Structure 1
Amino acid sequence: MFAKPFRVKSNTVIKGSDRRKLKADVSAAFPSLSAEELSELVPNKEELNVVKIYAHKGDAVTLYVLHKNPLFFELEKRLHPTVYVLWRYPALLPTFRTWPPVLQKLIGGADLMLPGVVVPTSGLPDVTQGDCCAVTLVNNRAPVAVGTAAVSSADMRSSGMKGRGVCVLHTYMDNLWAFGDKSGPPTLSDADSEGHGMNGEEYEDNEEDEEKEEVEKCVEEEQIPGETVTDPVFSRIEELSLAEQEEEKGEKGNEEDDKNQDEQKTPQEVMDALLVQCFLHALKSKVKKSELPLLTSTFLRNHMFSCCPSGKQLDIKKSSYKKLSKFLQAMQQQHNLVRVKELAKGVESIVEVDWKNPELRLFNVPKETDGEAAPVQEGETPYHPPEITYLYSVSARLEPLFLDANKRKGTILQPAEVRSIVMEYVKKNELVVENNKNYVTINPTLCDCLLEKSEYQEVESLKWDDLFSRTLGRMQECYQVMFPGQTPIIKKGHIEPIEISVASRGSNKKVTLIKNLEVYGLDPAVVATALQYRVQASSVLHPIPGAKDKVLVQIQGNQIHQAGNLLLDHYQIPRKYIQGLDKALKGGKKK
């Protein structure tokens, strides 16, 4: 169901009454949960979000999200737990066990077939058709898929373990899993699975061809055409290590093979692999134990970027992780390579590196980038200023004016579109004053939409300019921010300018403060470092109270002139989007 990206309709904080109802529904659906466990899943005071989405096939699904992780999804008024919940409570649902190669097929949208079910010594779980159940892998009790039983367990046995077993709804590595923190399944020992094969028979690992045939029988393909499944990070690390070992042997043909493999991968998978390579390279040859704790932003800028092979460009936004924090979290939780901690509020640091980790020890540093790293320069990651467009949203009051153009409340329009729709309405209703074409007659609709109550009896006509200005004035202002190669972002209200100001700290020392850099796609840590090099003064980052995902840059002294030059000249931010440049020292040159 979630093999393909879904569309989010709404995301709201749950109400108190709905929270109590959810708690009762969870308790009824999963009676094995104790009162304490129920309070952990549906806490009374912590923020719990209700996210309504549309799956790619049009199914309406409701998600319940806690700490950014989806806990339950409700489909056709029935609650199902996600893998994040099942990793905490693996015994919550009856489970069917299968082999690890089958997981890749399940992620692609296939159902689990009965020939792929590994029957434990205790026998099949007791289920009826339609019961919610989970799928685990051999040697690990952590569930990797959630679905419903296609038939009852009695019918499974009577059919000779043939046919469909579990109709899969959600899996590890699908888009619902990616909606959360993308953590990996824990390792939970499963003694019953040792020594068992397909349907209880012995399983021979060395017969690869037979294994592939069995995997095909284990699942019923429902793969979406053209859909590729993202491999786990672990497999990418193995691929990189093997590739580097082949390069050391000096085989020229390997370069062609690597190119062919890269062509078969999606750009996102290629960027993921490059990200892992630069990460391992930086840990193995750049980071020293004496440097720890190390700011994650410094690690990226000074170490990972310098490990990027020539001719390639490292861009986290083009990877599946999108953010450095999510990537490092995956490296910490899934592979125990590093330990990341928030030493200051909103600022993360790498506090520990597992130098003995086998993945790190097996990694071979590429010869191409081995050696002294080039000094990091400002803007090493190419930055292009966003294109900002002012837009207007149809308000409830103006909806009658836009109905003829099929524009309902909330429709986003450009000023030119608004002007065109108003002109078309006037011409269609023949409202232009015959004696003076510069005026428009006010009909009942225009009266209700554009006039104040005190003007109802007095104003009979308006000039064209006044008509347009009143229309725009009663619409909801919006703006669109579009970065090159990215989907445009539309938000309501005015766009916040980058604010540069000077404040006093103890002993009347001056500091320069810069905020709202994130609105324009700028990384505050990168801007702070660039300014630090320019003015040779220390800089720090402070979280902004009440503003999520926003950081304040503070640098010693009155540096408005230098900060302005950096933003105007280097990042090419238009002057109208920068506030406070007039407070620069008089000695500074103005652009």
Structure 2
Amino acid sequence: MFAKPFRVKSNIVMKGSDRRKLKADIAAAFPSLSSDELSELVPNKEEFNVVKIYTHKGDAVTIYVGHKNPLFFEMEKQLYPTVYMLWRYPAALPTFRTWPPVLHKLVGGADLMLPGVVVPSDGLPDVKRGDSCAVTLVNNKAPVAIGTAAVSCAEMQSLGMKGRGVCVLHSYMDHLWAFGEKSSPPTLRDAEGGAPDLNGDQCLAEEQEEDEEEEEAEHQASQLVKDQACPAVAEQAEGEVEKANEEGEQAHQDDKSPQEVMDALLWQCFLLALKSKVKKSELPLLTSTFLRNHMVSCCPSGKHLDIKKSSYKKLSKFLHVMQQQHSLVRVKELTKGVESIVEVDWKSPELRFSAPVETVIEAVPQTEAQYHPPEITALYSVPARLQPLFQDANKRKGVALQPTEVRSIVTEYVKNNDLVDETNKSKNYVRINPTLCDCLLEKSEYQDVETLKWDELFSRTLGRMQECYQIAFPGQTPQIKKGHIEPIDVSVASRGSNKKVTVIKNLEVYALDPSAVAIALQRRVQASSVLQAVPGAKDKVLVQIQGNQIQQVGHLLLDHYGIPRKYIQGLDKASKGGKK
């Protein structure tokens, strides 16, 4: 549930009455906690916050934060503990044990499968379907995941320990864990079945027994990979083998020259693009479009496709080699100086038996896909001059309000003081009393202006308030800043002998990494880009890329990153195609 970033809706300090209600809910959900432990978890005087969020799937979740860490989360009126809470009170939930290699799969959002459960000598915990439970690792009883039982304990045994065991909601290293201090699990001795710790030979015997359990668990996992009895757990166990294979492949690549490595990457992206991206209806396809829109998107995460660093140097030479030696494509110059792919041999063995389509999905860089734009809200701060107007609503100087709240408070003030002009049939005018006179009128208007229209009343109120804005990034506490938010500035400048370059500024305001944006643009347009410090601005960097690339910058910021158009200026200066 929290494997991907979430969006914070609100973050407020809990009132005393709400704390008492929360304590009662915790006591009902976790009866093993004593009254002293409840008071320690939810203190009466120390700061304790309630944070409302929306997950990446749109689910509404309430998080209770104390001691700088999220301690509980509530969804669908059900209360669950976090790993931070269970590290302090690990006995609050029944637990299932698994082996350490499974942890990285749980962190990625996978559920715990029954073949991956290590059954202790005293049997499985007595749980029913839907009961809250925790997951621990062998040799450490500090929970690393929290979820609900997929089936009851009796059904687990009747199923022969096959199928889904725990539906994981939250785990160590996910974004809910990252909302806290990001600490590591403590080391809590796992005395199997709740037996006391032993000493001497007995302790050695227990360690040997646990080692045997780990070996048996690994044997079961490897057997599952062979038999494919449970695909999910097979995938978990197979991950370690894949990792070893990747390390071996990396060592093999280290022996190659950079040019050979780039040639291999070019070949890989070429095959993946033909197999998963290009459709017959797209042919003929410009070779430049094939490179920019298809091959570049198939480049694995952490790698950069650069034809100039390969032995081919140019795309045209590479495609002609693919045509002459492999007969995978046929390239033709349909327009003078412009080449297109006119035919693809999809029946070629090299193409049919290349990497599967699913590989392409994993090859897309994850760092860019995980970006979520901030939620920006325009606010108005109450100044000293207007404080009497907001006094009845208990809004003091410096309080930030949304325009709708300002409108509501002003309307309520007018009605409470009977200031609607009844002599006007439309009742569209408001009589000016001394407070409104001091707050909204200029000195030259004191004697002349006796009434104002509703619209002018609201516009004058907002015009005399201080503009500010709230910016909320997913998984972070919203921040209120003064003034206007700076838009992302996109412009075209001339360099040297009338060469055009596109300049992008203010990316940091929206938590966009300038280097990541530069790389993404470089891949899209196949042009060089550089980063430069902004003169007179501390910790700000601008991106500069060759040519008039405003149109591509617009597509990247609007479609890929999801930045609203109103926060980007300069897109209207995109180059337009010449006359045909």
> TM-score, normalising length from structure 1?
0.44
Higher relative contact order (CA 8 A, sep 6+): 2
Larger Rg: 2
> TM-score, normalising length from structure 2?
0.45
